[in-house]
Structure 1
Amino acid sequence: MSDKLARYRSKRDDRRTPEPVPAEPPAPGDDRAFVIQEHHARSLHWDLRLERDGVLVSWAVPKGLPADPATNHLAVHTEDHPLEYLTFHGEIPKGEYGGGTMTIWDTGTYDTEKWSEREVKVVLHGTRASGRFVLFRTRGKNWMIHRMDPPVRDPFPDVEPMLPAERARPPRDASAYAFEFAWGGRRLLVPVEGGRTTASREHPWLRGLAESFGSRTALLDGELVTLGGAEILVFYDLLYDDGRSLVDQPYTDRRAALEALDLAGPHWQTAPSWPGEAGPVRQAAREQELPGVVAKRLDAPYEPGPSKSWLFIPS
C-alpha cells in the first residue's frame, strides 16, 4: 500500500518546523474527526481536514466555510496530513512551507454521506462549524464547498450612511446623546468577510484590518481623515457583527459592540465618544480646528440617509 503521507513529508523538515512529521506510514482510524485551522500564512485562509483512511484529507479554503447556501467558496485540495495535525497549532517558521501562524478554529466529528474522487458530502458536528456541506471538484486541485443547510446568519444590511441634521446649538437634553468630533473627512462603509474587504481595492492598507478579523464578519462605518499628515480611517459605528445585523439596535448597543472590537492599527482607530459631554467636546473641536461635533441620540437605531437622531453642531 502506498504511503499517503509521502508528499506531506517531502515538503517538511522536522528539524525546522514544529509540525508533526511521523516517520511511519499512517494506520487506519475511525474516519470521524475533523479540524478547521485558521492559517495566517502568505495569505489568510482556513484549512479543512477530514479524517479518512488514517490521514487527514485537506482543503485550503481562502474565505472559510460558506454561511449561506447562495454562495459557494473555493476549496483548494492539498496534500494529506497526519492525524497528529488534529491538535496542531503554532508558528511555522518563515521561509518554510506554509510559514505563518496556525490556530485551531474548530474541531469535532463528522458523518459521511458520500465520498468519491469528485464529490465529498459530510455533516459537521463542531462548535463553530456545523451542518451539511458538500465539496465538489471543478478543475485540477480546485474544488468548491457548498453549504446545504439554511443560512446561519443575517444577510449584510444594504444601507446608505446615516447623515446628521445641522443645528446651531447642542440639544438641551444632552444626557440623551453621545458627543463625537465631526471629522470633516470622507465617509466610508467597510464590509469585512472571510478576512477580506472590498474597500482594500481602493485602500490596500485595509487588508491588514480585514485579516485581523479572521472569520468574523462585520460592517463598519467611519471616515477617512488626515491626522498628523497621515491618512487614518476613524470608525464610529458598527452595523453588522459576527453574523448579526445591528442596524435596528440602539446606538449604545452598537457603540459597545464597536468598542469590544478594540480597533487600533497603523491606519485605523476607533473614534472617541463622550455621552452627555456637549460643552467640553465642542471646545476641544474648536481648539483642534475641526468642523464641529456630532450629537448622537443614545436610543436611536441606524437610520440611512438624513436623520434628526444625529445632529451636527458647528464649532
Structure 2
Amino acid sequence: MADKLERYRSKRDASRTPEPVPPSPPATGNGPGHEHAFVIQEHHARSLHWDLRLERDGVLVSWAVPKGLPGDPGTNHLAVHTEDHPMEYLTFHGEIPKGEYGGGTMTVWDTGTYETEKWSDREVKFVLHGERASGRFVLFRTRGKNWMIHRMDAAARDPFPQAEPMLPAERARPPKDTSAYAFEFAWGGRRLLVPIEGGRTTAAREHPWLRGLAESFGSRTAMLDGELATLKGAELLVFYDLLYDDGHSLVDRPYTVRRAALEALELGGGHWQTAPSWPGEAEPVRRAAREQGLPGIVAKRLDSAYEPGPSTSWLFVPS
C-alpha cells in the first residue's frame, strides 16, 4: 500500500523543523464512530495564506487558500492542493525555520469537525463545524493543483462598502456645544481609504509598505479611513475612522461606536498609527494644532453616521 506521507517527508528534515515528521506510514480508516476532524492554520510564510486540512483515511488532505475561506456565495477563492499532512498537524503551531519548506509562523486559526457530503478526485463537498468557520463548502478542481473553494450557504455578512471619504464643512469657529463633538487634528495630508481583505489591500499598489499592515489583519476584513501626512519630514498614515470591521458595515453607526472599534484594533507601526481624538476639548486641541504648525482641527459629532462626501456633521476649523 502506498505511503500517503512520502511526499510530506521528502520535503522536510526532522532535525531542522519543529513540524511532526512521523517515521512510519499512517494507519488508514477513521474507525467506527470517529468524527472527521479539520484544522485551518494561518501561515505567515513567503506569502500569507491559510491551510485547510481535512481528515481522510488517516491523513490530513490539505489545500493552501491564499485569501482564506470565502465569506459569501458570491465569491470563490483559489485553493491550491498540497501534499497530505500527518494527523499530528491538527494541533501544530510554531515557527518553521527560514530556508525550510514553508518557512514562517504558523498558528491554528480554527479547528473542529466536518461532515462529508461528496468526495471525489475533482470535487469535495463538506460542512464545517468550527468555532470561527462553519457552513457548507465545496472544493472543485480547475487545473493541475489548482482548485477553487465556494461557499454554498449564505453567511451573515454585510457587503464590503464602496465608499467615498466623508469631507468636513469649513467653519471659522468651533461649534458652541463642544460636548457633542470629538476634536481631532487636521493633518493637511491626502485622504486614503484602505480596504483590507484576505490579508491584502489594493492600497499597497501605490504604497507597498501597506502590505505589512494588511497582513497583520490576518483573515479579518476592514475598511480604514485615514490621511497621509508628512510629520518631521517622514510620511505617516494616520487612521481616524473605521467603516467596515470583520464582516460588518459600520457606516450607519455613530462616530463613538466606530471610534471605539478603531481603537480596539490597536494600530501602530513604523508608517501608520491611530490619530488621537479628544471629546469636548475644542480650544486645547486647536491651540496644540497651531503650536505644531497644523492647518486646524476637525470637530466630529459624536452621534454622526459616516456620510460619503461633504457633511456638516464634521467641521474643519482653521488653527
Q: Which TM-score tier does this pair reach, normalised by the shorter chain?
A: over 0.9
Q: Percent identity?
A: 85
Shift of residue 33, structure 1, vs aligned partner: 0.4
User: Are 1:170 and 2:174 matched, yes or no?
Assistant: yes
Shift of residue 68, structure 1, vs aligned partner: 1.1
User: Are 1:65 and 2:82 matched, yes or no?
Assistant: no
* Contact kept in structure 2, 1:93 and 1:100, CA below 8 Å: yes
* Distance change (3 Å), C-alpha of 1:31 and 1:79: farther
Shift of residue 282, structure 1, vs aligned partner: 0.3
Match of 2:274 among 265, 270, 275: 270
Match of 2:207 among 198, 203, 208: 203
SS at match of 1:84: helix
Write the distance in 1 (CA, Å) between the matches of 2:83 and 2:281.
59
Question: TM-score, normalization: structure 2?
Answer: 0.98
Write the distance in 2 (CA, Å) between the matches of 1:192 and 1:159.
14
Aligned partner of 1:82 in structure 2 is 86
SS at match of 2:209: helix
Aligned 1:179-218 pairs, distance under 5 A: 179-218=183-222
Aligned partner of 2:235 in structure 1 is 231
SS at match of 1:281: helix
Match of 1:108 among 112, 116, 121: 112
Question: Where in structure 1 do 4 or more consecutive aligned residues deviate above 3 Å?
Answer: none
Aligned partner of 2:13 in structure 1 is 13
Shift of residue 159, structure 1, vs aligned partner: 1.6
Shift of residue 31, structure 1, vs aligned partner: 6.2
Residue segments in structure 1 that go unaligned for 5+ positions in a row = none
Aligned partner of 2:129 in structure 1 is 125
Shift of residue 230, structure 1, vs aligned partner: 1.5
Shift of residue 160, structure 1, vs aligned partner: 1.1
Residue segments in structure 2 that go unaligned for 5+ positions in a row = none
Write the distance in 1 (CA, Å) between the matches of 2:306 and 2:293.
28
Aligned partner of 1:301 in structure 2 is 305
Letter in 2 for 1:189: L
Question: TM-score, normalization: structure 1?
Answer: 0.99
User: Are 1:255 and 2:259 matched, yes or no?
Assistant: yes
Shift of residue 152, structure 1, vs aligned partner: 3.1
SS at match of 1:163: strand
* Contact kept in structure 2, 1:50 and 1:57, CA below 8 Å: yes
User: Are 1:46 and 2:50 matched, yes or no?
Assistant: yes
Aligned partner of 1:314 in structure 2 is 318
Write the distance in 2 (CA, Å) between the matches of 1:163 and 1:229.
26
Shift of residue 55, structure 1, vs aligned partner: 0.3
